[in-house]
Amino acid sequence: MDGATHKNPIRTLVIAPNGSLSVGQAQWFFIYMCAASIVIACILTAEGLWPVWLFSGLEMAVLGAGLYASMHHSRYREIVSVYEDTIEIDAGHGRPERHWEFPRLHTQVQLRLTDARNGPSRLFITRSGHGCELGQCLTDDERQAVAKRLQRLVLAPDLNPETDG
């Protein structure tokens, strides 16, 4: 809004999926699995079972696609920047792909429960009925903690870090 992006935010909250596998680890895992598959395929080829190469290649292609999808998903970030007068949210994979801005004092944080039994809650940042959903990668407990923290930041973003749980 009024040039809030040119100032430093009072608080920044980064929401990201729990990606326990790094890109380097995924690459080494893929290399190891390809090597193991080639060794097994060579042994079976020596026994006359040469069609195993087709299945081995298909298996490694599916594994590679799964690892790629997992690595892409783990790069997703939602960055909530709280300024004195605005709240800005950027979301995307590795770089901002979507951007929202809300006037801080008119913004609502809503944690909505679903009607489905054991369905996940949903966290929204809204103003006048329009807004965005945050924290789809979080568990219900994590989403509830983020909702409480965001509600405190909307009301009083200049809290000391010690009191801003």
Q: What is the pLDDT of residue 4?
A: 45
Given a cut of 70, is residue 6 above it in pLDDT? no
Given a cut of 80, is residue 30 above it in pLDDT? yes
Per the domain annotation, does 162 fall within a domain? no
Asked if 87 and 99 sit in the same domain, the reply is yes
Asked if 66 and 108 sit in the same domain, the reply is no
Q: What is the pLDDT of residue 48?
A: 92
58-94 per-position pLDDT tens digit:
999 999 999 999 998 888 999 999 888 889 999 998 8
Q: Confidence class of residue 5 from pLDDT cuts 50, 70 and 90?
A: very low
How many structural domains comprise the chain?
2
Asked if 110 and 140 sit in the same domain, the reply is yes
87-146 per-position pLDDT tens digit:
999 999 888 889 999 888 888 888 888 777 777 888 898 888 788 889 888 888 898 899
Asked if 92 and 66 sit in the same domain, the reply is no
| More confident call, 7 vs 30 | 30
**Structural domain of 124:** 4-18+76-155
Per the domain annotation, does 111 fall within a domain? yes
Per the domain annotation, does 165 fall within a domain? no
| More confident call, 1 vs 40 | 40
Closest alpha carbon to 66 in 29, 35, 13: 29
